[in-house]
Amino acid sequence: MSAKVWLVGAGPGDPELLTLKAVKALSQADIVMIDDLVNPAVLEHCPGARIVAVGKRGGCRSTPQVFIHRLMLRYARQGKCVVRLKGGDPCIFGRGSEEADWLNAHGIEVELVNGITAGLAGATQCGIPLTLRGVARGVTLVTAHTQDDSGLNWQALAQSGTTLVVYMGVAKLDEIQAGLLAGGMNGDMPVAMIENASLPAQRECRSRLAALQNDAAAFSLKSPAILVIGEVARASAQISMPQLLHA
The set of catalytic residues is 35, 56, 168
Instruction: Name 246's Cβ contacts closer than 8 Å, sequence gap at least 6.
Output: none
Q: Which CB sits closer to ligand SAH, 76 or 199?
A: 199
| Binding of ligand SAH by 242 (CB under 6 A) | no
| Binding of ligand SAH by 192 (CB under 6 A) | no
Q: Which CB sits closer to ligand SAH, 3 or 225?
A: 225
| Binding of ligand SAH by 196 (CB under 6 A) | yes
Q: Which CB sits closer to ligand SAH, 54 or 225?
A: 225
Q: Which of 93, 139, 177, 235 binds ligand SAH (CB under 6 A)?
A: 93
Q: Which of 8, 18, 29, 226 binds ligand SAH (CB under 6 A)?
A: 226
Smallest separation, CB 123 to ligand SAH (Å): 10
Interstrand relation of 50-53 and 31-34 (parallel, antiparallel or unpaired): parallel
Q: H-helix or E-strand containing 164?
A: strand 163-167
Smallest separation, CB 198 to ligand SAH (Å): 6
Dist. CA 116–CA 180, nearest whole Å = 27
Phi, psi angles (nearest 5°) of residue 67: -65, -40
Instruction: Give Cα separations from 5 to 14, 22, 104, 154, 190 (angstroms).
Output: 24, 13, 10, 37, 42
**Interacting span for ligand SAH (CB under 6 A) from 18-26, 71-79, 105-113, 222-230:** 222-230
* Residue among 194, 150, 172, 9 at smallest CA distance from 88: 9
Q: Which CB sits closer to ligand SAH, 61 or 133?
A: 61
| Binding of ligand SAH by 84 (CB under 6 A) | no
Smallest separation, CB 1 to ligand SAH (Å): 28
Q: What is the dihedral of CA 64, 69, 72, 73, to 10 degrees?
A: -140
Smallest separation, CB 226 to ligand SAH (Å): 4
Instruction: Give Cα separations from 58 to 45, 55, 170, 171 (angstroms).
Output: 28, 10, 11, 10
| Binding of ligand SAH by 122 (CB under 6 A) | yes
Identity of the residue numbered 213: Q
The residue count for binding ligand SAH (CB under 6 A) is 24
Smallest separation, CB 206 to ligand SAH (Å): 15
Instruction: Give Cα separations from 89 to 115, 118, 141, 213 (angstroms).
Output: 4, 8, 13, 28
- Binding residues for ligand SAH, rule: CB under 6 A, are 12-13, 37, 86-89, 92-94, 117-118, 122, 167-168, 194, 196-199, 223-226
